[in-house]
């Protein structure tokens, strides 16, 4: 089965991939309001991501969601560096998983949950 990692793009990220082969693979979602890149991966990488992050899950669209911001940031950086959406970008991120998990742990310390009245 195929799984998807979505990387949402802001103006800064769009500028980093402008003029690369990846720019042609940008998709518009939510009525064109958001831009996204989709990285398709197989079972092995899906399992590695789910094992690495206890919050990660698979939604009804086969998208892997609820990964830490540090993982998403590293994934975009690899996409921008390698200029591809191949599985190789995810493998490169997973090669740095200990560093990313460390950054993700700091996120939990610094990002308190919102207060709900």
The predicted-structure confidence for 76-110, as pLDDT tens digits, reads as follows 999 999 999 999 999 999 999 999 999 888 876 66
DSSP H or E run through 62:
none
Residue 117 resides in a domain: no
Domain count, the chain: 1
pLDDT of residue 105: 84
Residue 28: strand, helix, or coil: strand
Domain membership flag for residue 97: yes
Mean pLDDT for the stretch of residues 8-31: 94
The half-sphere exposure of 1 on its side-chain side, counting CA atoms within 13 A, is: 10
For residue 54, being part of any structural domain is answered with yes
Can you tell me which residue has the tokens 């995810």? 90
| Residue 116, domain member (yes or no) | no
- Residue among 63, 54, 56, 68 nearest 96 (CA): 68
């Amino acid at each position: 089965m195929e799984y998807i990692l979505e990387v949402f793009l802001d103006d800064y990220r769009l500028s980093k991939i402008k003029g690369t082969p990846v720019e042609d693979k940008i998709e518009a979602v939510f009525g064109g309001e958001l831009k996204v890149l989709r990285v398709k991966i197989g079972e092995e990488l899906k399992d590695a991501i789910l094992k690495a992050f206890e919050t990660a899950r698979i939604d009804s669209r086969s998208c892997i969601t609820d990964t830490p911001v540090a993982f998403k940031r590293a994934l975009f950086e690899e996409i921008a560096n390698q200029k591809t959406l191949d599985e190789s970008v995810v493998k490169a991120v997973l090669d740095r998983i200990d560093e990313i998990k460390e950054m993700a742990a700091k996120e939990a310390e610094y990002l308190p949950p919102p207060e709900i009245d």
